[in-house]
Amino acid sequence: MGAGRPGYPFIGFGASPPTRFENISLIRAGGHFWGAQTFPAIWVFSASKEFRGIRVSDVDIVDPTYSGIMFQTRYNGSQPENPITDTVFTNVSITGARRSGDAFDAKSGFGIWVNEMPEAGQGPAVGSATFTNLRLSDNWQDIRNTTTTFTINRN
């Protein structure tokens, strides 16, 4: 889910009413393209449009190709465009995120990855997300967040 990708008419995610994604199963999802970027089963990308009021519930991610969920923010020069805010995940299970063993091995194996440097000229993810009933198992690393710009809240 992304706010402001080129080629798609989009006005952003607003708070009222919340945008809902429910009852999702993703098995061996994700991949790599756009140079050296890797993509998760669920890519949470804030860009040129407002990104808030997201509700994701009842999700099973099994054996993702690189990572389960990745948070990323687009920058304009050195400034982030829009933060991820008011975003809530409920009843999420991520299992089997493993190191890929390919050229992108260092960007793999994360249940949840707050991307600190997605590509040249881009900075770390900005904002926060809340997880309620998050279940992580059999991942190389359950959560990778080396940023000071993004917070994962767990209830």
For 30-88, write each residue's pLDDT tens digit.
Answer: 998 777 788 999 999 988 888 899 999 999 999 999 999 999 999 988 899 999 999 99
Which residue type occupies 51? F
> Where do the structural domains in the chain lie, given as residue ranges?
36-154
The predicted model scores a pTM of 0.90
Enumerate residues 6+ apart whose C-beta is below 8 A from 58: 22, 23, 24, 90, 91
pLDDT digits (tens, 9 = 90+) for 38-47: 899 999 998 8
Q: Which of 93, 142, 138, 134 is nearest to 113 (CA)?
A: 142
